[in-house]
Chains A and B, each alone.
Chain A
Amino acid sequence: MVAPSNAKSPDALRVQLALVGCNHRTAPVELRERLSFTSQQALDAAAELRRQGILDEAIILSTCNRSELYGVPAESAAAPADAMEEFLTSFHRMHRSQLDGRVYRSTGADAVRHLFRVSAGLDSMLLGEAEILGQLRAAYGDALARGVTGPILNRVFQGALEVGKRVRAETEIGARPMSVALAGVKLAERVFGNLKGRSAMILGAGDVAGQVAEHLRHRGIGSLRIVNRSYGHAAELARRIGGSAAAWESLEALTPEADVIVSSVGGAGVVLSRQTLESAIAARNSRPIFVVDLGVPRNIAPESVGLYNLYLYNVDDLGEIVEQNKKAREAEIPRAEAIIATHVAKFEAWRAALESASVADDLRSLFHRQREELLRERFVQMQNASPEERERIARITEELIDRVLSQPTELLRSGRGVRGRLGAIEALRHFFGLHDDAKDREDHD
């Protein structure tokens, strides 16, 4: 056999993506805890997957709702999904039987679609949540910096980030608030626009008050004041969130200074009367006040609702808005799926183009090797043939190969649709043993 080139040919290129993982739908929190990775562990594990020859490229996405291994299986890996699952359990010192069918796996376009759905927030516990996109970006960025990715995962993850951005920009899936606390803050933005430079006063220092304070801080509120009956609790929350605490006795005096008031004082009854709010608005020169009353029983006098430039929402109002928003988000799923389908198709087209070129090269190399081998054998028997005759025979056989390959090459380049091209690629690989042939040559090397 004619010795192949020593350089690793691109003909071994086969664009495949494999996924093994579990999420909040398939695994309880106890199992997810055991299978989770810290950022450093995720990078180390990805490097180890490559070192063991299971994957050529690897990224691990680990959040509170999922642990997923994405990778491009190495050519030498016999059953990559099994090997990935085995690795997942051994890394966490578990036995595979403990997974008890709670781990899912997929390959090719299905794996790509799954990743795109994750980035779009369709696979999240809270439909359309934005946090996953940041987590995915961080996981990819870290993996890229560590050098455990490659051209295929780069393409897939960049596509996923684009899908995540497009879905959030072009659909309402992540636009409307899904929690009472966030709904209150977003409504305040409908009045004031940007909250930077605004002041907020939180009445109460419990969990709900803390959530609202965090949302306000996250959205850039200028100043944040916590007022609570227990000054110690107020000071603790203020320290944690980055605001200031004030004594309960100063509540009325401080009310005119607040653009946004959020009250969540348990079992306290009315803590801000209509008269107090009316005086506050007058003292503010009629600048609006946005008030969110999350207390039950209500903390803000309900009759304040008619005051000019006072916007008052209670927990039921916000609950109703959140319920509406939930339905609105669900209604956006088909549009998000359509965007995902477009990007999966784009990825498949890219894959088809890449593999077409690779298979065409493979096929040409195979024919040329066979030709060279045949000529060498025959020229030994044709002792009387002149160099010119040998040259002519060599040229004719070369032309023959060009003619024979012109149609399949054209089919690979511009065949009927992506599916047709991928089908043709597989058929050619099968008929001509291209995959085995590439492996043989690697072994030979």
Chain B
Amino acid sequence: MTNHLAYLSLALYAASFCCYARILYAPHNWLGRLATLLLAAGILLHYFALLERSRAMHAVPYDDLYGSMSLFAWLLAVTYLGLEVFHRQRSVGAFVTFLLILWLGALELRAPVEKPASPAAHGPLFALHVTLNTWAYAAFALSFVLSLIYLAENRILRSRHPGAAFWRFPALEALDVMARSSVYMGLAALAAGVVMGVIWARRLVGASIWDDPKVAVTLAIFIIYGAYLRLSRRANWRGARAALLCAANFSVVLFSYTFVNKYLTRFHHFL
């Protein structure tokens, strides 16, 4: 995020966070609407920032970790906004925007590399592959946040001492449904992204990708989130335990996104 648009979008996310955090303690209709508007404006500017970067590189803007993380943050914001509008639930906004700010703030600590992308990174197939996979990670991140809120709210309910913000939180059932729909969305995007990746690798690279560690980790992600979806409907797992599993699963996503991409993979190595 080197351009002014990126900084401006970060400022808008921060302003949106302030509004979301405020309505947790004191509800204001107009403040809630303002929070959503600021988030939407941040998303719009963030999109133009990504576009600008893409033009500079003459390719999709995620050929390095910086671009990929920025796209991840953008997709997380877009996915959350969609969920907020669909579920008419703003009380999760403070947590999601806080995560966005942390993520983008951390991104600023790393100098971006604006070198021309490799020829293989050109073309719609690659763009779709990376966008869908990044979108999947964003959806998993959202399910992680929702699961953490579930666990916190469940703990408050069991402690029988609800605080001021408690009454503004979504119901446990709503959080559970939102987290699961987020995981469904993530798995669908991941599956589509993997298919695109396989086709791209065959057509353009001509190499076998099955021995790449990234494939094994992606398979593990399918298994652990599939297990979560199955267990979350079963006795003894339904509720807090499933939420805990969902939150824990995200550590594998993070591992795949950072360590695997940086050090283990051949095809997903960020420079």
Q: Does A170 lie within 8 Å of B27, measured CB to CB?
A: yes
Interface presence of A354 (CB below 8 A): no
Chain B window 162-174, contacts with chain A (Cβ cutoff 8 Å), 1 for yes, 0 for no: 1010110111111
Q: Does A287 lie within 8 Å of B160, measured CB to CB?
A: no
Taking CB atoms, residues of chain B closer than 8 Å to A372 are: none
Taking CB atoms, residues of chain A closer than 8 Å to B164 are: 172, 328
Taking CB atoms, residues of chain B closer than 8 Å to A296 are: none
> Nearest Cβ in chain A — how far from B153, in angstroms?
7
Contact of B160 among A170, A194, A317, A335 (CB under 8 A): A317
Contact of B172 among A175, A186, A190, A328 (CB under 8 A): A190
Q: Does A191 lie within 8 Å of B160, measured CB to CB?
A: no
A193-B171 contact, Cβ under 8 Å, with A169-B29, A328-B164: yes
* Bound-state Cα–Cα, A215 to B250, Å: 40
* Bound-state Cα–Cα, A170 to B23, Å: 9
Taking CB atoms, residues of chain A closer than 8 Å to B161 are: 320
Q: Does A175 lie within 8 Å of B162, measured CB to CB?
A: no
Chain A, residue nearest B157 (CB): A311
> Nearest Cβ in chain B — how far from A300, in angstroms?
13
Taking CB atoms, residues of chain B closer than 8 Å to A335 are: 26
Q: Does A321 lie within 8 Å of B162, measured CB to CB?
A: yes
Interface presence of B237 (CB below 8 A): yes
Among A192, A193, A282, the one with the most B-chain Cβ atoms within 10 Å of its Cβ is A193
Taking CB atoms, residues of chain A closer than 8 Å to B240 are: 308-309
* Bound-state Cα–Cα, A286 to B238, Å: 6
Q: Does B239 lie within 8 Å of A308, measured CB to CB?
A: yes
Interface presence of A313 (CB below 8 A): yes
Interface presence of B235 (CB below 8 A): yes
A190-B157 contact, Cβ under 8 Å, with A286-B238, A308-B236: yes
Interface presence of B115 (CB below 8 A): no
The number of chain B residues with a CB under 8 A from chain A is 28
Chain B window 158-202, contacts with chain A (Cβ cutoff 8 Å), 1 for yes, 0 for no: 101110101101111110000000000000000000000000000
* Bound-state Cα–Cα, A190 to B91, Å: 13
Taking CB atoms, residues of chain B closer than 8 Å to A286 are: 234-239
* Bound-state Cα–Cα, A256 to B106, Å: 49
Q: Which residues of chain A in 284-319 are interfacial with respect to chain B, using CB atoms and an 8 Å cutoff?
A: 285-288, 305, 308-309, 311, 313, 317
Interface residues of A, Cβ cutoff 8 Å to B: 169-172, 175-176, 186-187, 189-194, 282, 285-288, 305, 308-309, 311, 313, 317, 320-321, 328, 335
Q: List 27 A-B contacts (CB under 8 A).
A: A169-B28, A170-B26, A170-B27, A170-B30, A171-B27, A175-B27, A176-B167, A187-B162, A190-B162, A190-B172, A191-B171, A193-B171, A193-B173, A193-B174, A282-B235, A285-B234, A285-B238, A286-B235, A286-B237, A286-B238, A287-B238, A288-B239, A308-B240, A309-B239, A309-B240, A313-B160, A321-B162
Given contacts A190-B171, A192-B172, 7 further A-B contacts (CB under 8 A): A170-B29, A171-B27, A175-B27, A190-B162, A282-B235, A286-B235, A309-B239
